[in-house]
Chains A and B, each alone.
Chain A
């Protein structure tokens, strides 16, 4: 079976002082091929931990992640990752960064050159391909990171707040780009964000997680990602359901945050 399924996943971190933190508890979820799913939740709800387990950087204390019929036990080229920032290789040009995956797989330049140039076109960095990455702005660097991930042709793309460090305008442009790439490539995408609007815009499916222990709180199926493809995202935001959903989810997260604060005050 193709696709990704997360089965009864639990993660407990044992702290040096003897206590332990239940970062994830009994998370079960399956993601269809070609689906774009956004994950939202207050800080400490385990969303990054979840992504790291799916990527294979962490082994869960219980449960498993099954990808294309086999159990995930480490990082692999089938699961690409886009980080918030700082994961580009400064000592390589833009083109060398983007072609990193194919080169590591031992492909020859004539086999990857066309695809890499095409991807640089798609992300609008054709004229910057020989530049050093530290000469680029934050938004351009994230476009390099996207292109680098796509050049490796993974089955699933995991995004850990990839647009979190960008300014509002750049962020909006990048959101359109992510949607376009999603439609064009048909990749499965899991995107973690702490912006409710971004989660609504980019989530065909939206997962709200709750903290302590980290678990799935609610799931939505949303039309906005499909609407947003090839359309101005500001138009999508004017959709009456959009505002409704936004207020609903914001309220939900506010309640969780307040509950955490209350618990902290009680224990203090």
Chain B
């Protein structure tokens, strides 16, 4: 909730600031339009907003994980570290009450820690020391070193002067002191607002992990091997899907018999999510490369067949008539009119198919694989290696985005007439 509130606040604040600071900077044609609200063509992505948006995400990530990349004053309050103290009041047989101080050293998990040293103090209740990791909690047996132990009815009745009973708790400035049903104190240092690294590691930890895995690998394969295997499966699966799907789509667009024969199959298979085929493919082909490629082949096949089919049906009849009137044969019509005319549709289909394939391969690797981006994050998650999981998700996103950019570029280069007919 706090994160969301800060996010919304940054959104609004930067909007207002940019609105007033960069108000008249643009002087292109759009800026002369008086009607902009409702005119979709006048809406272009504000690049400043894009940059701030990305920076905000990293800033929030850094601030709430105590990242070293974010200046200290911007950090969200972190967990308490250092020596926390509170006093307890105990009573024992004979009705005497006595106070003693507990000093708890709160340390960063994973670092060496020494017991704090304090003087035992006066009275029968002696001062106690203990250590607790940040974000953890620990039981503190305060009666252990006292002169009157539990045998003599040692009972803690107050913490920092506030009465406490089994099951209750007292908030101190360093954290919560609770009491178990048996009367043992339990100290839980203040957690602050930051995320614990095992839930969300700071950006630099993820970055460091990228470097480490790129050099040393994870699960017997380097990072590039994992990603390369995933990409290889997508490319091969898509290639065969297109190799079969495009001619199939053409046949369906050109022949009644093919259309009738394959329509029920294609129309049935198209809405079946490729993920639903994973179990069957594993049963039939195992978890090796063949199974993955068959799955991706099936994912791409129907999309490409439908794209090619609609590409053929999209040929303006006047173009076909024109070609025949100019003396083209059926084969020439195919080669010079139908195929080029269907290319824009096929490229749209290819973009969709590549996206679906990429998603499917990661999912298939999550289920079962020996190598691959999905396998990497799945295994890492089982060991609570959140930094690898986050790194994997980011890299999967970057590659998916890269594939789409590449397809768009290919489309622009190869079918420049798209959308201009």
Contact = CB atoms under 8 A, between A and B. Distances in A.
Contact of B325 (A77, A84, A91, A92): A77
A75 B322 CA distance: 9
Interface of A: 55-57, 74-77, 79-81, 83-84, 86-92, 100-101, 104-105, 132, 134, 148-149, 152, 154
Interface stretch (B46-54, B281-289, B337-345, B357-365): B337-345
Main secondary structure of the interface of A (DSSP, over half): loop
Interface in B51-77: none
Contacts, number: 78
Contact of B322 (A87, A105, A134): A87
A159 to B, nearest CB: 12
Given A77-B326, A77-B327, A87 B337 contact: no
B327 A86 contact: no
B323 interface: yes
Interface residues of B, number: 23
A89 B337 CA distance: 7
Given A86-B316, A89-B336, A91-B343, A80 B326 contact: yes
A57 B417 contact: no
B421 A86 contact: yes
16 contacts: A55-B321, A57-B324, A75-B324, A77-B327, A86-B316, A89-B340, A91-B415, A92-B340, A100-B323, A100-B328, A100-B336, A101-B326, A104-B326, A105-B327, A132-B417, A148-B326
B317 to A, nearest CB: 9
Contacts of B332: 104
A75 B321 contact: yes
Contacts of A105: 327
A90 B420 contact: yes
B111 interface: no
B219 interface: no
Contacts of A149: 325-326
A267 B319 CA distance: 38
A92 B319 CA distance: 13
Interface string B127-142: 0000000000000000
Which of A76, A77, A91, A149 is packed against the most chain B CB atoms within 10 Å? A91
A76 B420 contact: no
Interface in B362-421: 415-417, 420-421
A100 B329 CA distance: 12
A83 B326 contact: no
A78 to B, nearest CB: 9
Contact of B327 (A84, A89, A152): A152
A97 to B, nearest CB: 10
Interface of B: 316, 318-319, 321-329, 332, 336-337, 340-341, 343, 415-417, 420-421
B64 to A, nearest CB: 52
B416 A132 contact: yes
User: Nearest 8 CB-CB pairs, A to B?
Assistant: A77-B327, A75-B324, A90-B417, A91-B340, A101-B326, A87-B318, A87-B322, A134-B420
A27 to B, nearest CB: 21
Given A77-B327, A100-B326, A134 B417 contact: yes
Contacts of B417: 90-91, 132, 134
B321 A104 contact: no
A35 B417 CA distance: 38
A86 B319 contact: yes
A49 B239 CA distance: 45
A76 B327 contact: yes
A154 B327 CA distance: 10
B73 to A, nearest CB: 57
B417 to A, nearest CB: 4
Contacts of B321: 55, 57, 75, 81, 83, 87
A256 B326 CA distance: 36
Contacts of A76: 325, 327
Contacts of A104: 323, 326-329, 332, 336
A87 B327 contact: no
Given A56-B324, A154-B325, 19 more contacts: A57-B321, A75-B324, A75-B325, A76-B325, A77-B325, A80-B326, A81-B322, A81-B325, A83-B321, A87-B318, A87-B319, A89-B337, A89-B341, A90-B420, A91-B340, A100-B328, A134-B421, A148-B322, A149-B325
B341 A91 contact: yes
Contacts of A57: 321, 324
Contacts of A80: 325-326
Contacts of A81: 321-322, 325
Contact of A87 (B316, B328, B336): B316
A56 B325 CA distance: 9
B325 A55 contact: yes
B338 to A, nearest CB: 11
B333 to A, nearest CB: 9
Contacts of A91: 340-341, 343, 415, 417
A86 B322 CA distance: 10
Nearest to A134: B420
A236 to B, nearest CB: 30
Which of B318, B341, B343, B416 is packed against the most chain A CB atoms within 10 Å? B318
Given A100-B336, A134-B420, A134-B421, A89 B319 contact: yes
A45 B343 CA distance: 38
